[in-house]
Structure 1
Amino acid sequence: MTNTTTTTTTTTTTTRRLIVLDMAGTTVADGGLVERAFARAADRLGVEPGTPDHAEKLRYVRDTMGESKISVFRHLFGTEERAQLANSAFEQAYAELVDGGLVSEVPGARAAIEELRADGHTVALTTGFARVTQDAILDALGWRDLADLTLCPADAGGRGRPYPDMVLAAFLRTGAVADVRETVVAGDTAYDMLSGRRAGAGVVAGVLTGAHDRATLTGHGATHVLDSVAELPALLPESS
């Protein structure tokens, strides 16, 4: 009688994901440049530093981090003409600060993106800034070819966060996954979390390197909260 031993080999398949990452505060450290650029824009429109009006407007800018900047200025300055003037001044000021070498990657961000893509995931970088500012940041960091796709609000119909439009645009444009639940959204603001949840993403990860704290991120729908985007590659196998 012959004994036959059968060996079964189990192959583990990693789920391919679409990864939608915010820039400033999540993958990019800008050291508070949004507030500095806002101060310059506000000054151009006659909002004096130290006044209650200036303090109120700055508080709104902080509370709406992650939102399309033109939407913020429409709220703050009322008319479309003044909003566009403020937005142009803001974008110019931010670009000048970027050109001055005042942006850097969040430690480990580039390596995390490279690891995610090497593992077969598709990565999109999104922002609430205009395209000209997004491109200035990408150029300053040498990130033009780092991600599969970059999107600003104008690339997704004009509405930024907390609308789901940029996440859904990434889903449609890349065709990387068949189900929106295979999308991962990561960001540092409440609006990032709302955008991800409204888009139907399966993982909505808040990171603690930017504007909002753990309680705020969780309260606006984060499924996970990470110290940094550098931890994201390790999270994905656990969430498959």
Structure 2
Amino acid sequence: MTPQYRLAVFDMAGTTIDDRHEVYRVLRGSVEREGACFDDATFQQWMGTEKRSAITNLLRIGGVDASDERVEAAFAWFLAELTRSYTENPPVPLPGIEAALDALRERGLAVGLTTGFSRDIADLILDRMGWTVGPGGHTPTVDAVVCGDEVPEGRPAPFMIQQVMERTGVTDPGQVFSVGDTAVDVESARRAGVLAVGVLTGKLSRADHEAAGADLVVDSVAELPARSDVGGLV
């Protein structure tokens, strides 16, 4: 018998939201300006993770002392530069995303967002797009948003997905699927025991997602409402 899904969890930047990859430009800039050096493959491993942790680890990997003072300075620059960029040129929903989220909620699924952003950056993005959290309000409304600075450990730990489950009252991981554009999104879903869906709107290929252990790979979140042929997904 196919599972009856009750909750869909989505990453933000690169999965549901087009930020023109600004978060990765700014994250990389925040550590390179401190003298860190690393290749693209190394940087990619930290895409989708909580940003303070990413900065700390990228400094160390890049040969720079990750003192508390240096991490704080790099993180402060990251927040200020990303806020400036998002204020001047706000992120927008990826094509078809709002209709897809509406369709999922109309079918009775709760919808949650998770992000490696801190709460202030996530709120800035949501406000610029007119998205609201909780019942009522503008369309689309999501039921919960959990940020990387609100859990004991960010991705690839499962805590953000588990927090969305708690906030939406879904206790069975078998009734949840989680969608993301990075390898750590996939690993986080697997650690949470939920269906791991990779999406190709980020920088990874289908082969990359499959290598990370994705149960399903889709071109875009926009196609999910039509994927009733895939294990009773929706």
- What TM-score does the superposition give when structure 1 sets the normalisation length? 0.84
User: Does structure 2 retain, via aligned residues, the 8 Å contact 1:61–1:72?
Assistant: no
**What is the rounded CA distance, in whole Å, between the counterparts of 2:193 and 2:128 in structure 1?**
33
- Which of the residues 133, 154, 174 maps onto 2:121? 133
Partner of 1:191: 184
Partner of 1:103: 91
Deviation at 1:62, TM superposition (A): 2.8
User: Does structure 1 retain, via aligned residues, the 8 Å contact 2:18–2:91?
Assistant: yes
Q: For 1:1-29, what per-residue CA distance to the aligned partner results, in whole angstroms no more than 9, with x for missing partners?
A: xxxxxxxxxxxx99342111000000001
**What is the rounded CA distance, in whole Å, between the counterparts of 1:155 and 1:184 in structure 2?**
21
**What is the rounded CA distance, in whole Å, between the counterparts of 1:84 and 1:232 in structure 2?**
39
**What is the rounded CA distance, in whole Å, between the counterparts of 1:58 and 1:85 in structure 2?**
23
Partner of 1:148: 143
Partner of 1:120: 108
**What is the rounded CA distance, in whole Å, between the counterparts of 1:42 and 1:58 in structure 2?**
14
Partner of 1:8: none
Any unmatched runs of 5+ in structure 2?
60-65, 134-140
Any unmatched runs of 5+ in structure 1?
1-12, 48-52
2:47 is aligned with 1:71: no
- What TM-score does the superposition give when structure 2 sets the normalisation length? 0.86
Q: Secondary structure at the match of 2:24?
A: helix
Partner of 1:228: 220
**What is the rounded CA distance, in whole Å, between the counterparts of 2:28 and 2:148 in structure 1?**
23
| Bigger mean CA deviation after superposition, 228-237 or 133-142 | 228-237
Q: Which structure has the larger Rg?
A: 1
Q: Sequence identity, in percent?
A: 38
Deviation at 1:234, TM superposition (A): 2.1
2:199 is aligned with 1:210: no
1:238 maps to a residue whose letter is V
1:71 maps to a residue whose letter is S
1:190 maps to a residue whose letter is A
User: Does structure 2 retain, via aligned residues, the 8 Å contact 1:57–1:76?
Assistant: no
Q: What is the number of residues matched between the two proteins?
A: 218
Q: Secondary structure at the match of 1:238?
A: coil
Partner of 2:63: none
**What is the rounded CA distance, in whole Å, between the counterparts of 2:225 and 2:77 in structure 1?**
37
Instruction: State the superposition RMSD in angstroms.
Output: 2.0
